Amino acid sequence: MENDNWVNKPGKAQKSLKLRKMMKCFCSGEQLQRGDMVPLPDSPATKDYRASVRSSRAGDTGNIEEAESSLRESGALNYEEARALLGRYEYQNGNIEAALHVFEGIDIASVTTKMKVTLAKRAQIQKRRSQKYDPPPMSIHAVSLLLEAVFLKAKSLQALGRFKEAAQSCTVILDIVESSLPEGLPENFGADCKLQETLSNAVELLPQLWILADAPKEAIMSYRRALLRQWNLDVQTNAKIKKEFAIFLLYSGNEYNPPSLRFQMDSSFVPRTNIEEAILLLMILLRKVTLQIIEWDPSIVDHLSYALSISGGLWALANQVEELLPRNIDLCERHHILALCYYGEGDNFTALNLLRKLLSSAEDPTCVPGLLLASRICAESLECAEDGINFARRAIESLQGRCNHLMGVANYVLGLSLSAQSRAAMTDSERVRMQSEALQSLESAGRLTKMNDSNVIYHLCVENAEQRNLDTALHYARCFVELEGESTLKGWMLWARVLSAQKKFPEAETIIDEAVDQSGKWDQGALLRTKAKLQIAQGQVKNAIGTYVQLLVDLQIQRKSFGLEENLKKEKDFNRTMELETWHDLASIYIKSSRWQDAEFCLSKSEAISCYSASRLYIAGLLHQSKGLHKAALTDFTNALAVDPSHVPSLISTAVVLRQLGNHSPATLISYLRGALRLDRTNVAAWHNLGLIYKEEGSAMEAAECFETAWFLEESEPIEPFR
């Protein structure tokens, strides 16, 4: 009725006539004068406009009502508003270039001040709930119409591939609203027009435009602006922006400055890197899913899993997965993800127990990923190797006629489990059989993966090297380094070890030097230690000592650089172990040179790092043994075995010292040496000392076999174990 009354008011015909005159002048490209104007003759633009109006009249009821609202409140439709209406019509009809031409004629700068004042007064009126106020210079509908025109201009520029201009146009909307309402939008602000919808669309679109314009820094600023300002975005839009921002931070490939949060509380967490900021966003989203504020989105867990995996936060990921409701994640998937988390953090026992539940008959006994992971975990333990073989064979059975690549992976983990089982074999015939089967499985894996899986190639090299197929192992070592793009240190080191087994020490040292040149400063520790051992093998003891000293200096500098960062805990633990073993290597050199004072100094340094170290107690035993203090040496070796019962050098040295003391039966000595060989079948010292005992006992045949084995292994012994 209100609209009808307005239409029937006196002067309605005059206003309609005025609107038609404005449209005619606008379409002709002329400005409207203050007084009445004589209608201009029809131009092509006018005819096109009339045609478009006729074709879209049925769908333009809302636009007409908004125009009427503007007319009711302001008494007339000005030039900018008229262009905004026409531009909207053109855009809705798909005439992008024509719409852009119309929008570019709007002088937003000339009305920006009025728009800001209008928005500010509207907010004050809404807060005070009072009707006594000065009328704003523009109607809220006019402001909404003009801001929509700016947004549609940005969309038109985007459609034409002019992304930077589109982003700049979109920024105008946010600048006007933000400067007008510095404290943010009140609730239900602009609910009676399209203002909130336009603003939400602009906030969401702006970072996407900057990304398309290849301006990542501006995109980051736009994302943060969208999330840190009060724009009255609905929950789903806010969640969508958070997810897109997290994805951009994770995969953009660049590192940006952390956010500057002026209002952040001291006790609150402030992200320092892209990864931390992405994790924070994704964890907020996951919390909202748990509280049923937003809908479940499985990709959130996928991205969070990746982010926490590369940042070493697998415990945090496990906690997040455990908090997910059963309706959001399948029980089998939960067990599998948790198993991966625990395995990644080194808790193989818990991971394997979870996988056993997953693979039970009550859940999913044919889950191929679970079977493969379970077999991989079992392959790392001699006690569980047989279970690993069974898991791998179940996976192969489930994969018959399916994916060749997964079949290759199944053969790969089968080979690892067979290799582990061979090391625990009680008889030589069983060990040789399992080694052969392991090699066959790994070769099958190589064929099925088309020799493109670096893990398969690496273990093909290791297995051939341990079986002393050194030429074949050298071939695979080269293939591995090439496949990894010369970027993996373990490939270079394996290559050098194979060369050292062939007694090509200068070539091996050249390989290590090349690896040092290819690696970063903090990644050279293991390489330098290997280089020192190669120098010792060539009789260059002085050079080896210099290399060890360089390594120790680098480790001390690195330790100071790391400080107390929690996310570098694994690196610090690795460097701590490296420093400990380096002091022990130096002590061994000094013991062989009878430089006992220097050896004691090295042991005091290692004791400061770890006083309960089996290797430190073993070196202390060697020092006492070299001084002729056999009982003291035996105490050290016994203590070393108390710390680590599987410490092979201590088992061998215990047998040697007991033999020197001469107060133990040969059976006791043999038990120590056989125990060492069960752990390391290729240990030259164990075979040699076992041969000596058999020789003293008059078992010539057994002694000859031991000496022959020791000689064969010594001829192809690497400076460091292959595995």
Q: End-to-end CA distance of the chain: give it in Å, rounded.
A: 88
Q: Name residue, tokens 């669309």.
A: 201
Statement to judge: residues 589 and 644 lie in one domain: no
Identify the pLDDT of residue 24: 45
* Residue of 231, 125, 126 lying closest to 177 (CA atoms): 231
Q: Coil, helix or strand for 161? A: coil
Task: Say if CB 5 and CB 62 are below 8 A apart.
Answer: no
Q: How does residue 261 score in pLDDT terms, banded at 50, 70 and 90?
A: low
Structure tokens at 357: 């539940």
pLDDT above 60 (res 160): yes
Identify the pLDDT of residue 97: 92
Distance of CA 189 to CAs 176, 194, 230, Å? Answer: 15, 10, 12
Statement to judge: residues 603 and 677 lie in one domain: no
Domain boundary among 196, 230, 264: 230
For range 521-540, the mean pLDDT: 88
For range 412-419, the mean pLDDT: 94
Domain boundary among 206, 230, 254: 230
Distance CA 682, CA 558 (A): 35
Statement to judge: residues 534 and 666 lie in one domain: no
Q: Does residue 578 sit within a domain?
A: yes
Identify the pLDDT of residue 462: 94
pLDDT above 80 (res 370): yes
pLDDT above 50 (res 361): yes
**Burial (CB count <10 Å: 0-12, 13-18, 19+), residue 72:** middle
For range 497-520, the mean pLDDT: 90
Statement to judge: residues 195 and 120 lie in one domain: yes
Identify the pLDDT of residue 54: 42
Task: Say if CB 263 and CB 228 are below 8 A apart.
Answer: no
Distance of CA 692 to CAs 253, 286, 622, 699, 707, Å? Answer: 61, 66, 20, 10, 8
Distance CA 147, CA 185 (A): 15
Helix axes 140-159, 79-92, angle to 10 degrees: 40
Contacts of 158 (CB under 8 A, 6+ apart): 166, 205, 209, 212
Structure tokens at 620: 């202390």
Distance of CA 569 to CAs 276, 354, 556, 565, Å? Answer: 17, 26, 15, 7
Statement to judge: residues 140 and 75 lie in one domain: yes
| Residue 547 backbone phi and psi in degrees, to 5 | -65, -40
Between 96 and 14, name the one with better pLDDT. Answer: 96
Number of separate domains in the chain: 3
Identify the pLDDT of residue 133: 61
Statement to judge: residues 638 and 590 lie in one domain: no
Contacts of 600 (CB under 8 A, 6+ apart): 623
For range 8-37, the mean pLDDT: 41
Q: Does residue 358 sit within a domain?
A: no
Statement to judge: residues 540 and 628 lie in one domain: no
Distance CA 712, CA 444 (A): 29
Contacts of 163 (CB under 8 A, 6+ apart): 157, 209, 210, 212, 213
Q: Name residue, tokens 């992971």.
A: 373
pLDDT above 70 (res 572): no
| Residue 465 backbone phi and psi in degrees, to 5 | -65, -45
Domain of 223, CATH number, reads 1.25.40.10
Q: Does residue 507 sit within a domain?
A: no
Statement to judge: residues 588 and 623 lie in one domain: no
Torsion 478-483-487-491 (CA) sign = negative
| Residue 502 backbone phi and psi in degrees, to 5 | -85, 5
Identify the pLDDT of residue 126: 64
Q: Does residue 486 sit within a domain?
A: no
Distance CA 669, CA 489 (A): 39
Q: How does residue 266 score in pLDDT terms, banded at 50, 70 and 90?
A: low
| Average per-residue pLDDT for the chain | 82
pLDDT above 70 (res 446): yes
| Lowest-confidence region among 14-23, 122-131, 217-226, 449-458 | 14-23
Apex 69 CA angle, 66 and 73, nearest 5: 145
Task: Say if CB 334 and CB 321 are below 8 A apart.
Answer: yes
Statement to judge: residues 148 and 222 lie in one domain: yes
Report the percent of the chain where pLDDT is more than 70: 84
**DSSP classification of residue 543:** H
Task: Say if CB 62 and CB 69 are below 8 A apart.
Answer: no
pLDDT above 70 (res 591): yes
pLDDT above 60 (res 360): yes
For range 425-430, the mean pLDDT: 82
Apex 401 CA angle, 397 and 407, nearest 5: 60
For range 558-584, the mean pLDDT: 70
Distance CA 385, CA 418 (A): 7
Identify the pLDDT of residue 37: 32
Task: Say if CB 375 and CB 391 are below 8 A apart.
Answer: yes
Statement to judge: residues 688 and 547 lie in one domain: no
Q: Does residue 337 sit within a domain?
A: no
Tell me the pTM: 0.71
> What is the per-residue pLDDT across 45-104, written as a single tens digit (0 to 9) for each?
334 444 444 444 444 445 545 544 544 444 456 788 888 889 998 999 999 999 999 998
Identify the pLDDT of residue 169: 93
Identify the pLDDT of residue 189: 72
Q: Which helix H or strand E contains 419, and what residues bound it?
A: helix 404-423
Distance CA 548, CA 570 (A): 22
For range 610-636, the mean pLDDT: 91
For range 269-289, the mean pLDDT: 86
| Full residue range of the structural domain in which residue 670 is found | 616-722
Statement to judge: residues 195 and 132 lie in one domain: yes
Q: How does residue 499 score in pLDDT terms, banded at 50, 70 and 90?
A: very high
For range 302-321, the mean pLDDT: 86
Report the percent of the chain where pLDDT is more than 90: 44
Identify the pLDDT of residue 636: 93
Identify the pLDDT of residue 590: 93
Distance CA 51, CA 164 (A): 33
Torsion 179-180-183-186 (CA) sign = negative
Identify the pLDDT of residue 672: 93
| Residue 470 backbone phi and psi in degrees, to 5 | -70, -35
Distance CA 334, CA 345 (A): 17
Q: How does residue 129 score in pLDDT terms, banded at 50, 70 and 90?
A: low
Identify the pLDDT of residue 191: 64
Distance CA 533, CA 715 (A): 17
| Lowest-confidence region among 38-42, 261-265, 297-301, 476-480 | 38-42
Structure tokens at 442: 């790994």
Statement to judge: residues 554 and 637 lie in one domain: no
Distance CA 603, CA 640 (A): 14
Identify the pLDDT of residue 46: 38
Identify the pLDDT of residue 128: 59
For range 123-149, the mean pLDDT: 75
> What is the per-residue pLDDT across 227-250, written as a single tens digit (0 to 9) for each?
988 888 889 999 999 999 999 999
Domain boundary among 611, 642, 674: 611
For range 280-304, the mean pLDDT: 89
Identify the pLDDT of residue 322: 84
Distance CA 161, CA 167 (A): 11
**Burial (CB count <10 Å: 0-12, 13-18, 19+), residue 383:** exposed
- State the DSSP string of 350-409: HHHHHHHHHTSTTS-TT-HHHHHHHHHHHTT-GGGHHHHHHHHHHHHHHTTTS-HHHHHH
Q: Does residue 140 sit within a domain?
A: yes
Q: Does residue 641 sit within a domain?
A: yes
Task: Say if CB 88 and CB 110 are below 8 A apart.
Answer: no
For range 181-209, the mean pLDDT: 83
Distance CA 201, CA 178 (A): 15
Q: Does residue 237 sit within a domain?
A: no
